A and B are shown apart, each in its own frame.
Chain A
Amino acid sequence: MLVQKITSKQGTTGIIGSAFLSSLLVLFLLAPHMTLPVHAGTHQHSNRYLSPSEMVFGPGGKALYVLCEQSDEILVLDAATQQVENHIPVGHIPRALVVSPNGHRLYVTNSWDDTISEIDLNTQKVVRTISAGREPYGMVIDRSGKTLYIANRIGNDVSVVDIATGKEKKRLPAGHGASYLAISHDGRFIYCTHVYPEIGPDRTPSQLSMPWIGSIHVNYSQREDRQPPQSAITVIDTATEAVVRTIPQPSVAGVFHVTLSDDGRLGIAAQMQPKNLVPLAHVEHGWGIGYSLTLFGTDVGTPVQVPLDELERYDSYPYAVAITPDKTRIFVTATGSDSVTVIDTKRLLAFVHGHAKPFINDLSASANYVIARISVGKNPRGITLSPDGRELYIANRMDDSLSVIDTGSNRVVRTVKLSGPETVTALRHGEQLFFSSRYAFQGQFSCANCHIDSTMDGLSWDLEPDGLGRNIVETRLMEDLPGTEPFKWNGSNPSLAVECGPRTALYIYRSHSFSSPELADLVLYIRSLPPRPNRFRLPNGQLTPEQARGKEFFYRTVNKAGMSIPRENQCSFCHSGPKFTSQKSFDVGTGRPSDTSAVFDTPHLINDALVAPYLHDGSARTLEEIWTLFNMDNKHGQTTDMTKDELHDLVEYLKTL
């Protein structure tokens, strides 16, 4: 409804005329800002959702290649008309794409196949499939076009692949969950980020006791426990194909895209700053997670972190970054906030150089350099600038659409609907809910912030209901969950509906959270998440000799002295059933003084190689540490009689589950 004033001095004709003309005038003025959707092509809609997540322009900017994660394909769009001209099938769950410097080839990482698809851009066919590391994610190509660099999320490394032979030349160590890469404009350096924090000391043991080292009493101070998460950007020299340095990112966990300005003076990485060490008793004032950028390069000198949030609005979570060719503007997608943040580079650098550091926890800082927050589609992910820098393309992953922003006016000028089902199924709706931050207090975070790409965050958290500083618990992997109930480390939540419903609303989201129908859709989505392919099994399903020996230990009923192992101390007693959980809780001696109870739910072991750190509070950095540091009294299986090699065999078997 409207409030409108009419001046009594006007005559009737004048009023009618004014009103009519005013209406026409307003219509005319609004026209340039209309953002009517453009349908990309006349082809029939796919029966699979696309989930577009990354894009790249082809040579001369004539074609736009759009990577679609869920339909396993690359869409070829005419950049001028935004019409889809072709679909190129690739491997399973593609994650990144690059065009060769000569413009003849397109390379795509297939994260669940551990391969790279090489596409001839003339024929628009896959001409070769190249083997990669474990779960290849981000990728860049060197300026010569001879070498691919691929970040392997599970491998925690970067593969260096010779394109001519298709062979991997070497693997370079990178961070935990290495995922995104960028190459400097001069081609000399490559920068790699990682999505999970480095696994550092969390809890120090009071005693080390294994046959090969004897018993050592260790008196570390409790103060060494629970340090802030650490991340780092790995810098690779393309001349030597070696890691030359790292850029520390203190108190950061969850780093996504990194990019560099064309002049090479400014690098930017998008990231999260979890507040997992302070009790999550409320979430206002950035108490849950902060969102920020790491700036590095000669423009800033010492690397610095700058916040993106406001006092009552959050940039959940920053994913991709683009810098205009003239470096005047920076664009950042906020995946859970369904928006793009626009930063004035000059003001940003002036703020960085003019204010005392640190200012990372100042929620009013962003007012100094953020000049716009532009609403786009659901779950915006990758962004790319048109070659002339005048338009910014955003892949709206949960909408199967692209938003196009005029970088001069900071307005959405087009929304390009890609193919894909017209209707939103309950499963798709559940997925949209999972990635949306609008259900948490002030939109601070979504499920996906702690379950990155529906996995975990590698962190342990201090939730409030059990008391402040008590019952610290690690975030668990979210795959293959049916048949693993109950949930929560103390096993108190019988179903996902309880776990994701009232518990989340009360103690995590601190807001209205999901309605009953929404919760049903969300649970449907979470239950549908399959396990990733196990990279440790042989293709023929058989076990290696060491895995086979480890299996013997897993199922053994007597110890090496020939004595029977109590049933409850046999690995396969608690870790039983198809998913290696009895779905019951036990005290395996891993409780700590701050735990209300030492009895914990038995986690399933599917893909347990991927979910480090381990134990309920994330205090074991590796599978080995579960027994070498935290199983002094054999309550967590009979292991003290095992040699180092035997324990290694057991671990190798566990990785195959």
Chain B
Amino acid sequence: MKRKYCRLLILFGVLCGALLFGVSSLNPTSASSVVVPIIVTGAPEYDALAALHGGERFPSGSQLMSFSEGKPSPLVSGFAATADAQISFDGKSVLFASKHLPNDPWQIYEIQIGKNSPRRVTSLSDDCIRPFYLPDGEFVYARKVAGRFLLEVASLNGTSQPSRITFAPGNFIPTGVLHDGRILFESGFPLGTNGTPEVYTVYPDGSGVEAYRSDHDTGRSQAIQLNGGDIVFVTPAGLGRFTSSSAHQLAFDAPEGDYSGGLAETSDGDLVVSWRSRAPAGARYSLQLVQHESRSFTAVVADSSLNLVEPVLAEPSHQPDWFPSSLHPWNTANLLALNSYLSRDSAIPVNTIASVRVSTVDAAGQPKVLGTDKVQKDGSFFVQMPGNTPIRFELLNASGAVIRWERGWMWASAGEQRVCVGCHTGPERAPDNVVPEVLWNQSGPTNLTGNNQHSSN
């Protein structure tokens, strides 16, 4: 209750402050606005999904701007380009991506709010973008290697080597960190392809990668988790929402338009969205406030020459749970499927699955079969496979014909013991409480690493 009253007092103070000190914006639209305090990336050109194809989101450069009481100011100076601000959980620091010189690669920097002495965090020859703070002094970011973005986790103080956590073809861009400690990222669907943008999660040690939901739609990006736990994201039609209770995407009522510039949530539950009208073509992204109950839409700040995108609020936020990695010291990984007959796509007739074939990608980018293993009558199988490697599963009948196949690629971290209810059952399916037959019949996993010397169990 006290917190609510404090907010009201702050609101009152903000309003009075605005009166006393005046309000301004860049080239003001019909409604001048005060945003306290907010950091936004301003860019003449903006291609929200370019990174999902290994491209440049800000081909004409960009600059981070801080708005306090409606007045814009550069967040930092001395850089050819800056973008991707993220606020530390205590609200005191900002991680961001920047280019020192126009032809330099994007690198990650950190700055204390209110100071102009940024600290370089990464020193790599590749582009490093979209940093997000993790608990326990680490951060996750996308690093462009050989033309595509993968995810890495590194310590903020540089005491450990960056650790790669994505291992499939395609591009991977982080968009947030969930309250439960998992990293929210966007990539193509099926995973490992350049298909429709989709929302995925992975633990900070690279284990447990999966689609956030399995009701794949026409495209989802820029996903963030709200304070209440819901996930809000951008869709081709506008905004969409996932709740904890539903396995399916829900509507998020908001005015029509393009929300691809990203969004942020205020501590009162309103949304600050980077939005532009679909007409006329080429309109700039401006910041709008979406009131959380009425969903009313209010212009906050706009500029006729810049897209204002990727808004973040410079205030403390709830620190996500720290995830303790329990990876084993192996190069390989194990996967136990409880019942491969279970799938949300459609049921597979009983007694039709005879074996499972596991493939990877060779150096030339071509699928390479690692081996096959028997599937038990109850649909269970238990295999050992290479860790940190693209993996694909195919279910075969007794004749060796493919019954069901994975259209994309997944991976298991080295040392991970992955357990699945079935094949593409969706996160809404909890396991049955039975001992899978394969654990009666095998004392360990079948070696499908492609190397008989591997042993992990």
Binding site for B on A (CB under 8 A): 1-8, 12, 15-16, 19-20, 22-23, 26-27, 30, 34-36, 222-223, 225-226, 228-229, 251, 273-279, 281-282, 284-287, 290, 307, 309-313, 361-364, 366-367, 370, 441-442, 464-465, 467-470, 502, 505-507, 510-513, 593-594
Q: Is the interface of A mostly helix, strand, loop or mixed?
A: loop
Shortest Cβ distance from residue B303 to the other chain A in the assembled complex, whole angstroms: 16
Rounded to whole angstroms, the CA-CA distance of A370 and B14 in the bound complex is 39
Pick out which of these stretches binds chain A: B357-365, B401-409, B424-432.
B424-432
| Residue contact A277 to B433, C-beta cutoff 8 Å | yes
What A residues does B328 contact at CB under 8 A?
465
Q: Is the interface of B mostly helix, strand, loop or mixed?
A: loop
Q: A278-B434, A362-B429 are in contact. Are A19 and B12 (CB under 8 A)?
A: yes
Interchain residue pairs with CB less than 8 A apart (14): A1-B37, A4-B15, A6-B15, A19-B12, A251-B432, A281-B336, A285-B421, A290-B430, A311-B428, A313-B245, A361-B431, A363-B247, A505-B324, A512-B322
Question: Nearest CB to that of B30 among chain A residues?
Answer: A8
| Residue contact B19 to A282, C-beta cutoff 8 Å | no
Against A, the Cβ 8 Å flags (1 = close, 0 = not) of B296-315 are 00111000000000000111
| Residue contact A15 to B15, C-beta cutoff 8 Å | yes
What B residues does A442 contact at CB under 8 A?
180
| Residue contact B181 to A285, C-beta cutoff 8 Å | no
Q: A19-B12, A36-B1, A311-B247 are in contact. Are A3 and B289 (CB under 8 A)?
A: yes
What A residues does B336 contact at CB under 8 A?
279, 281, 468
Point out the residue from B1, B248, B338 that lies within 8 Å of A34, measured CB to CB: B1
Shortest Cβ distance from residue A456 to the other chain B in the assembled complex, whole angstroms: 18
Name 20 extra pairs, CB < 8 A, besides A2-B11, A4-B14, A5-B289. Answer: A1-B315, A2-B7, A3-B272, A3-B289, A6-B33, A19-B16, A26-B8, A27-B8, A30-B4, A223-B440, A309-B430, A311-B427, A361-B432, A362-B429, A363-B428, A370-B245, A468-B419, A506-B326, A512-B181, A512-B322
What B residues does A366 contact at CB under 8 A?
245
Point out the residue from A8, A223, A274, A278 that lies within 8 Å of B32, measured CB to CB: A8
Against A, the Cβ 8 Å flags (1 = close, 0 = not) of B233-244 are 000000000011
Point out the residue from B246, B267, B270 that lies within 8 Å of A367, measured CB to CB: B246
Rounded to whole angstroms, the CA-CA distance of A88 and B12 in the bound complex is 51
Against A, the Cβ 8 Å flags (1 = close, 0 = not) of B420-457 are 01000001111111111001100111000000000001
Rounded to whole angstroms, the CA-CA distance of A285 and B420 in the bound complex is 10
Q: A274-B433, A313-B229 are in contact. Are A6 and B427 (CB under 8 A)?
A: no
| Residue contact B1 to A35, C-beta cutoff 8 Å | yes
What A residues does B315 contact at CB under 8 A?
1
| Residue contact B430 to A468, C-beta cutoff 8 Å | no
Rounded to whole angstroms, the CA-CA distance of A281 and B208 in the bound complex is 10
What A residues does B243 contact at CB under 8 A?
310, 367
What B residues does A286 contact at CB under 8 A?
430-431
Rounded to whole angstroms, the CA-CA distance of A23 and B9 in the bound complex is 8
Does B253 have its Cβ within 8 Å of any Cβ on chain A? no
Does B18 have its Cβ within 8 Å of any Cβ on chain A? yes
What A residues does B208 contact at CB under 8 A?
282, 284
| Residue contact B28 to A8, C-beta cutoff 8 Å | yes
Does B256 have its Cβ within 8 Å of any Cβ on chain A? no
What B residues does A225 contact at CB under 8 A?
435
What B residues does A19 contact at CB under 8 A?
11-12, 15-16
Rounded to whole angstroms, the CA-CA distance of A507 and B54 in the bound complex is 37
Across chains A and B, the number of contacting residue pairs, with CB separation under 8 Å, is 208
What A residues does B324 contact at CB under 8 A?
502, 505-506, 510-513
Question: Nearest CB to that of B231 among chain A residues?
Answer: A312
Shortest Cβ distance from residue A372 to the other chain B in the assembled complex, whole angstroms: 11
What A residues does B457 contact at CB under 8 A?
467-468
Rounded to whole angstroms, the CA-CA distance of A510 and B324 in the bound complex is 6
What A residues does B90 contact at CB under 8 A?
none
Shortest Cβ distance from residue A637 to the other chain B in the assembled complex, whole angstroms: 30
Binding site for A on B (CB under 8 A): 1, 4-5, 7-8, 10-12, 14-16, 18-19, 23, 28, 30-38, 135, 180-181, 208, 229, 243-248, 266-268, 270, 272, 289, 298-300, 313-315, 321-324, 326, 328, 334, 336, 338, 382, 417-419, 421, 427-436, 439-440, 443-445, 457
What B residues does A464 contact at CB under 8 A?
326, 417
Q: A222-B440, A285-B421, A441-B180 are in contact. Are A510 and B326 (CB under 8 A)?
A: yes
Shortest Cβ distance from residue A364 to the other chain B in the assembled complex, whole angstroms: 4
What B residues does A273 contact at CB under 8 A?
433
Rounded to whole angstroms, the CA-CA distance of A310 and B428 in the bound complex is 8
Question: Nearest CB to that of A443 among chain B residues?
Answer: B180
Shortest Cβ distance from residue A436 to the other chain B in the assembled complex, whole angstroms: 14
Q: A20-B12, A593-B443, A594-B443 are in contact. Are A228 and B434 (CB under 8 A)?
A: yes
Shortest Cβ distance from residue A408 to the other chain B in the assembled complex, whole angstroms: 20
Q: A6-B23, A364-B247 are in contact. Are A512 and B321 (CB under 8 A)?
A: yes
Rounded to whole angstroms, the CA-CA distance of A290 and B243 in the bound complex is 19
Shortest Cβ distance from residue B423 to the other chain A in the assembled complex, whole angstroms: 14
Question: Nearest CB to that of B456 among chain A residues?
Answer: A467
What A residues does B8 contact at CB under 8 A?
23, 26-27
| Residue contact A311 to B244, C-beta cutoff 8 Å | yes
What A residues does B1 contact at CB under 8 A?
34-36
| Residue contact A310 to B244, C-beta cutoff 8 Å | yes
| Residue contact B34 to A6, C-beta cutoff 8 Å | yes
Point out the residue from A277, A367, A505 that lies within 8 Å of B435, measured CB to CB: A277
Question: Nearest CB to that of A360 among chain B residues?
Answer: B430
What A residues does B432 contact at CB under 8 A?
251, 278, 361
What B residues does A15 contact at CB under 8 A?
15, 18-19
Point out the residue from A2, A7, A506 that lies within 8 Å of B10, measured CB to CB: A2
Question: Nearest CB to that of A285 among chain B residues?
Answer: B427
Rounded to whole angstroms, the CA-CA distance of A282 and B413 in the bound complex is 14
Question: Nearest CB to that of A35 among chain B residues?
Answer: B1
Question: Nearest CB to that of A441 among chain B residues?
Answer: B180
Rounded to whole angstroms, the CA-CA distance of A251 and B444 in the bound complex is 26
Question: Nearest CB to that of B313 among chain A residues?
Answer: A1
Q: A284-B427, A366-B245, A506-B324 are in contact. Are A3 and B270 (CB under 8 A)?
A: yes
Rounded to whole angstroms, the CA-CA distance of A223 and B119 in the bound complex is 61
Point out the residue from A275, A367, A465 that lies within 8 Å of B433, measured CB to CB: A275
Give the interface centre of A3, A6, A8, A34 by most chain B CB atoms within 10 Å.
Answer: A3
Q: A279-B417, A361-B431, A468-B417 are in contact. Are A3 and B247 (CB under 8 A)?
A: no
| Residue contact B321 to A441, C-beta cutoff 8 Å | yes
Point out the residue from B31, B181, B229, B429 that lies within 8 Å of A363, measured CB to CB: B429
Shortest Cβ distance from residue A22 to the other chain B in the assembled complex, whole angstroms: 8
What B residues does A5 contact at CB under 8 A?
31, 33-34, 289, 298-300
Shortest Cβ distance from residue A220 to the other chain B in the assembled complex, whole angstroms: 13
Shortest Cβ distance from residue B343 to the other chain A in the assembled complex, whole angstroms: 14
Point out the residue from A30, A281, A361, A506 that lies within 8 Å of B419, measured CB to CB: A281
Rounded to whole angstroms, the CA-CA distance of A30 and B23 in the bound complex is 29
Shortest Cβ distance from residue A193 to the other chain B in the assembled complex, whole angstroms: 19
| Residue contact B246 to A364, C-beta cutoff 8 Å | yes
What B residues does A507 contact at CB under 8 A?
326
Give the interface centre of A12, A26, A506 by most chain B CB atoms within 10 Å.
Answer: A26
Question: Nearest CB to that of B301 among chain A residues?
Answer: A5
Point out the residue from B18, B38, B430 that lies within 8 Å of A275, measured CB to CB: B430
What A residues does B299 contact at CB under 8 A?
5
What A residues does B31 contact at CB under 8 A?
5, 7-8
What B residues does A3 contact at CB under 8 A?
35-36, 38, 266, 270, 272, 289, 300, 313
What A residues does B38 contact at CB under 8 A?
3
| Residue contact A469 to B435, C-beta cutoff 8 Å | yes
What B residues does A16 contact at CB under 8 A?
15-16, 19
Question: Nearest CB to that of B436 among chain A residues?
Answer: A278
Shortest Cβ distance from residue B377 to the other chain A in the assembled complex, whole angstroms: 11
What B residues does A370 contact at CB under 8 A?
245
Give 8 closest A-B pairs by Cβ, nearest first. A286-B430, A469-B439, A19-B15, A367-B245, A512-B322, A364-B247, A361-B430, A364-B428
Question: Nearest CB to that of A2 among chain B residues?
Answer: B11
